[in-house]
Amino acid sequence: QRHSNNDARRPPKTFMPTNGASRTSRKELLDLIGNNPGGHLDESSRFKFETKLRAYANTPNVDPSDVLFAIGSSVYGTNISFPVQEQTNGSKPSDEEEKETNIIIDFDYMKAFMKDVFLSYGVKPVHAETCSEVLIEADRRGIDSHGFGRLKPIYCDRMDQGILWPDKPIDVIKQTDTTALVDGNLGLGLYIGPHCMQMAIDKAKKHGVGFVVVQNSTHYGIAGYYATMATDAGCIGLSGTNARPSIAPTFGVEPMFGE
């Protein structure tokens, strides 16, 4: 979109209600916030804010995108619902129009896409199937942070950078009847993790307990996938991993805990 030089020099627009009642209500809300910064922690202040916010929402021509409604929702716990906005011709969007804006992609399609991506990087077919299954299981469970969205930034980008590799062997350094130390050789943790959990399950089935530790395994997806492997086999499963410091301890400011 092109803008003239005059447009570029114009200051950004500031929201200001044109209705007198709206302006008064909005000013009262801003004063309430400004004069009592910790008001969201006080029950009476929260009630007062909610009452004023709902009154403001009911004034004519109020803008639903006003930041005060976002503050009410995220800070004061007051959610305001607005009716569906009518189109310029006075009609509401049809069901078909709403369906067109809400595109749903099937899990199987997403999994097949991820498998094809792994195959294109040289991951063995059996491992590509496992990797895509671990990732899509996160999406099935609603854990969006560790599913399809991780494909590029965590796995593809790191393979591109040589941080991890698409096809590395899994070496058992040493083991006993109930334990094992495994080296993943910086392969994809998404196929190393299932392999090692299966080792632990097999040992537990035979000897009552199985404990497998892996080094150089790289990112392995959601830990819950591996615990579920154990429960599906009739065992009690525990799974955990180290991670870079990304969470500050309580009352701290420096990240020290992994997530």
Percent of the chain with pLDDT over 90: 51
Give the distance, in angstroms, between the CA of residue 77 and the centroid of all CA atoms in the same chain: 22
Residue 76 burial (CB count, 10 A): 20
Stretch 29-57: mean pLDDT, rounded?
82
| Of residues 156 and 244, more confidently modeled | 156
Residue 195 burial (CB count, 10 A): 17
DSSP per-residue string spanning 182-248 = EE-TT--HHHHHHHHHHHHHHHHHHHS--EEEEES------HHHHHHHHHHTTS-----------BP
Supply the mean pLDDT for the chain.
Answer: 85
Tell me the CB-side half-sphere exposure of residue 159, using CA atoms within 13 A. 19
Residues 151/95, Cβ–Cβ less than 8 Å: no
pLDDT band at 15 (very low <50, low <70, confident <90, very high): very low
pLDDT digits (tens, 9 = 90+) for 119-128: 999 999 999 9
Q: Which two tokens stand for residue 25?
A: 């209500």
pLDDT band at 3 (very low <50, low <70, confident <90, very high): very low
Give the list of residues 6+ apart from residue 34 with CB closer than 8 angstroms, or none.
none
User: Percent helix, strand and coil across the chain, each rounded to 5?
Assistant: 50, 5, 45
Torsion, CA 138, CA 139, CA 143, CA 145, rounded to 10: 90
